[in-house]
Amino acid sequence: TIAKKTMLSVNTDQRLRELSFGCFEGLSVSDVKKKFPIEWSNYRSVDDYKVPRGEHGREGESAAELTKRAVNIFEELARNHENETIIVVCHGGVLRSWTSNIGLGCLKFPNACISKICATQILVDGRKSSIRWDAETVAETNHLKEIGYVEVINAAEV
């Protein structure tokens, strides 16, 4: 793991978790379509739809709520670690929401597909009053090929 290789401590933050899918949690797409056909239709067609609470008690989360959460944690990290290099490991949905919000998502990098196992390196010009972000790499997977983990996929072909 990263922590073992770098001898760094690990800090966790619930704000880096994936979108809460409410009553869809733990189900396959085919099961969701069968059990919750109206909710699934709304989820796929209604902008910023919030999936209802599930049996597990977790309320669903809208895309706007995920984006707000992602922006808040990354801005906090930038302010708290000024002039430091940090590693953030999070779900792809969190990263996609955040990078799109700060203008570094698929509109700026149309061939970048943030997948389950990719690296995105963001440079921060962070001051207490404002933060300027710039991308060094987006959706990089060469590190996986180097260790023999997977063939690198050309994002333009996905």
Reported as a single tens digit per residue, the pLDDT across 7-48 is 878 888 999 888 889 999 989 999 999 999 999 999 888 888
Give the range with max mean pLDDT: 86-95, 104-113, 123-132.
86-95
What are the phi and psi torsion angles at 61 (to 5°)? -130, 140
pTM here? 0.70
| pLDDT (0 to 100) of residue 152 | 43
Query: What is the CB-side half-sphere exposure of residue 39 using CA atoms within 13 A?
Result: 19
Please report, as a single letter, which amino acid is at residue 117. I
The average pLDDT across 129-156 equals 55
| pLDDT (0 to 100) of residue 132 | 62
**107 has pLDDT over 80:** no
The pLDDT tens digits for 44-76 are: 888 888 888 877 777 899 888 998 998 899 888
**pLDDT band of 94, cuts 50, 70, 90:** confident
Tell me which of 138 and 108 has the higher pLDDT. Answer: 138
| pLDDT (0 to 100) of residue 41 | 93
Helix/strand/coil for 83: coil
Question: What Rg, from alpha-carbon coordinates, does the chain have?
Answer: 18
